[in-house]
Structure 1
Amino acid sequence: MTARFPAARPRRLRGTAAMRRLVAETRVRPADLVLPLFVKEGIDAPVPVASMPGVFQHTRESLRKAAHEAVEAGVGGLILFGIPETKDAAGSAADDPAGIVQKALRDLSGEFGDDIVIMADLCLDEYTSHGHCGLLTPTGAVDNDATLARYASIAVAQAAAGVQVVAPSGMMDGQVGAIRTALDEAGYTDVAILAYAAKYSSAFYGPFRDAAECAPQFGDRSSYQQDPANAMEALREVELDLAEGADMVMVKPGLAYLDIVAKVADSVRVPVSAYQVSGEYAMVEAAAQNGWLDRERVIIETLTSYRRAGARQILTYWACEAARMLR
């Protein structure tokens, strides 16, 4: 007898929440999430970031509390960004043993080092008076090779303070090799490198620059960050970073670059991270405040899209809240 109705009914596997959980192809776990945290020198109370509701510039004490909350939620990692009291052309506070990130790393590694992976952004833009990611030539261009020596010094300072993973984000040619050599020569062979291998020159970074107080004082970063039009270039950058000793690689931003996340994940055999950046966060928070979308559903949906594209770790400002939802 010829069937009058469809024999194939994919909806059978969507009928209940329990069935959908059973057959889900992609799962996000709390341990997949990394929480970015900002720590600022010279403040005595957390400072709200106006463009990122719920995000703060922390004191050392409030940073400890935020780290404890992340551990309790089951978050997989923390990544620190520092805002010093004093900035100069060389970004001297970045590798100062008494610098704010080094102090915070000692605080956290001593208290939480066995419970969560402690990472630190490795760059100069938060520390330089001009806001660029490297040292400048007399004409105002970023000096790639001179900057590598600064990155190497920062890596060793962060390692000495107890960091487990350094995350170079400046997109200088050769940065991973310079950092790996410096760490190994200083005896920090166990410190891993999460390379911002494909970091695009994006308009989605605006709120972060408020949080980290690192907007360029002139020009932009398009001469060293990647052109949003290019995909093959990202794969080349990833290959170079892996050849220089990167242990993990990152794509940033995430949501507008999920095709790049997927291409990278398909091409490498190391963990791939993606950064759900400040602009993504701010857009969702603003829309939710206006009642234009279901905030919690959007958070989980976007995180799932990252994992579906191939990201093993997701840096997200919602890490603690999402971890609690996922549990």
Structure 2
Amino acid sequence: MVTLLDCIYRVPAVIESIVEQREVTFAPLLEAVKDRLDDLNEILFVGSGTSNTCSVTAYRFVEKASCLSTSTMIPNEFLAKTVYNPKALYVFVSQSGTSTLTQQALKKVKAMGCLTAAITEAPTTPLAQAADVHIDMGCGYEEYGMRTIGYCASILTEMLMGVALGQARGVVSEAAAAAYIEDALAVTKDHKEICDRTLTWFDHNKEALMDVDAFVLYGPGSLYGVALEGALKILEIAKRFMCVGYEMDDGLHGPTMGFTQRHAVIVLNDGGKDNSLAMGIAQYMKNDVGHAYVIGANPIDEDDLGFTPASKDFACLEYAPVVEILAYRLAVDYGIELKDIKTQDPLPEMKYFNTHDE
């Protein structure tokens, strides 16, 4: 039987496939925008849950590569808007392509004549068929509903879409595009080692990690999206903890007054401009309150998981398996059965609102 951990370890092959297929993947989008390149001035990603956190992770790079103002929004907020930019590219993300409100949001702006694209797992999904353009997520079949492959595949697909649009607009040279591709593939270099070391790190800290009531994850820049996704994964997979993800600075304004020894803080640190903030919250929690663990740059003690990403712009994909494996091990070591899609019980949503409607 394929385990959730197997899915996490499988990501490098998915990354390589997405990179290899990129010209085919983005050909329909480039054809659709070729007559709008002079007017196109914005990209807006819309999605729920993991389809939102992947966009929060990717959108900064998309803006950098495409030189187009780029942002993200959840479907309900998008549907509540009263002003929509007719010169924007609206990108709707849903792995299954069945997210109810995401479909409604796409249909709303498509009816206005706006350009819409759907990123899903297959061209036959309802969202794909409703959009002007379908972009294959490249995730393939994923055995578990707690998306790990889909999260990483969505991030990479969105980021490479930014490169493709940048090339089409003449703001990314062939040499720059090649460098981006090389950087993306660098993610696969140490993936297995990071996964292996995360398992060892969990075993080293197992008693403390399993004895808290809540996890709080911090991340700067693109790692903010990883923090949000990590909080989601711990909650949905381990089922025993309340979890929240914060942007590195925003999470220092108030939440820290509520931390106790029953909370564990996970600091995703890239060693960049917010390094002092990362070190500050980590030291504070370690010395004065309770549990804190630095992941990535500048580990403080033996309880941390230090590593140097092989990639620069795509390093977020090297942090993703850490939070996913943390969620997985918390569940497994508590004896929680993780069911694949084929054997999963009906989801809670069937009792309140069908969030995925085919």
Same fold (TM over 0.5): no
TM-score interval w.r.t. the shorter chain? under 0.3
TM-score (norm: length of structure 2): 0.24
Higher share of residues assigned helix: 2
TM-score (norm: length of structure 1): 0.26
